[in-house]
Each structure stands twice: as C-alpha cells, then as structure tokens.
Amino acid sequence: MPKLSKYFRVAVAGDTCDGRKISESEIKQMADTFDPRVYGCRINLEHRRGLFPDGDFCRLGDVTDLKWEKIVDDSALNGKVALMAQISPTDGLISMIGKKQKIYTSIEIAPNFANTGKAYLVGLAVTDDPASLGTEMLAFSATAEHSPLANRKKSPENLFSVATEAEISFDDIAEPAPSVLARVKELFAAKKKNDSDQFGDVNAAVTVVAEQVQANFDDTAQKFAALNDRLAELETSAGTDRNAVQKLTRKLEKTDGSFSRRPLANGSDGKAEIVTDC
C-alpha cells in the first residue's frame, strides 16, 4: 500500500553549504510557490542523481507538499522559520529509514526559479553525514575557488542547505475501492478446476452486483425523499402566496370605484371666488 509522510522539517533559515544564507522570505517563497505540476521535486541520495532506475543512486520518492512554520521549542532554533515537507517515499527509502539510515535531509534551492524572482525547491537529499553537507563544506567553500558540491547541483547558482535531522513517519494511503466491473472480472479471471468452482464464482458475482444495486437504490431513495421534502416546502410556500393573492383580490372587488371630479377653477372675475376645499 502506498504511503505518505507526515510533515517534517527539511530546512531552517540560515547558513548554506557554500557560505550563502537562506532567508526567511526564501523559505516562505518555496512553501507558497511549490506545485509538483509545475516542477516535481524528487528525493535523491547525497544530492547525487543516478542515470539508472536500479542503480545505487536511483530516486527515492517525491516531495508532495511544502509549508512553513516558526519553530517553537527550547532549542537554539527557537523562533526561526522552518520549511516543512510531505513526501511520497519508495519502499527503498522506507526501508532505509526503518534501519535508521539516511536520517538527515538537505534541500537544493533555485534562488531565481525560471526567472520568476522567487525561490523554488528543486531537490531533496537524504544523507548520513551532515558535516559533509554542513560545517566542513562551509569551511571549504569559504576559501575554495569552486564549490566542492558544484557537480551535484542542477544549476551552478543553486545552493544546498545544511543537513538537518529529520523525524519522518508515514501514514498509509487508502486505495480506492475497485469498481463492480473490476470485482466481477477478478472472480472470472482465473481458470477453474471444476463446475463447483465456476458455480461459486457465478454466485459471488451475482452477490457483488446485487450489493451494488442495493447501494444505488438506497442512495436514490435518500435523494428522492429529500426531493419530496423540498417539494412539500415549495407547495406550502405557494399555498401561502396564493391565499394572500386571493385575499387582496376580494378586498379590491369590494372597493367602491365611483368618484366625482371637483369643479374646474374658472379664475377671478371680481365676483365671489370659488375656494378649493383641501
């Protein structure tokens, strides 16, 4: 059954392996912009990318999601911004982690991914030697003309974070239930030895179909009952409106429609004026 990890820390804002710094804004940019549909981030061993799927440096899974959070604990990292990852591992990586191997992680960052001006996570490495991707490399890179890790980067301007210990745990991913057709096909897929086996499979297939028909019927019945309730509400509302219209009609029918116009004003001719009674 495929597995998906819980979120775990893969990087903290601060030093990288070549003397540069990972800023808080870059951590947040990686979390906010990450989308495997745009660029998938694969997991590798020691930042090495093998050519063969069955080689020593084959890929070990994929990063599926990122988020950032502030560290709140009693360590020296308290208050710093951390990048949290969720991964989908291969069986090989799960086996390694179960044996307490490759328990540190280091990320590869593209500071200006696809000329967007924003940082993006392009690789995640697992390692057992954080010093080789941390303090020692930091010391080498400070004086070296060329980075000792340059040949492991996807692009020369990319940078590697200092390796950090990861606490990785996995949850099983529930696989979708097979369709009725798939279940029936499975029953008849294998060759049977005798008529009894065939009859048993026919009986099982009929049961599967009947269960699905019953489930569909129950679902339809629930929807029909809800529709009936809604129709009853509409009928009640319509009856109320109809009564109000009938009441208004009867009232208007009883209203006296006769009226007389007041006399027209004929102006003043020196005689007694007609005064309008308002």
- Tell me the catalytic residues: 18, 47, 106
Q: What angle do CA 46, 51, 54 make, to 5 degrees?
A: 85
The residues that bridge with 48 in the sheet, in sequence order, are 45
Structure tokens at 135: 């303090």
CA torsion, points 230, 231, 234, 235, in degrees to nearest 10?
Answer: -140
> Is 57 in contact with 138 (CB distance < 8 Å)?
no
For residue 93, give the nearest of 42, 50, 131, 132 by alpha carbon: 42
Helix (H) or strand (E) holding 5, with range, is strand 3-5
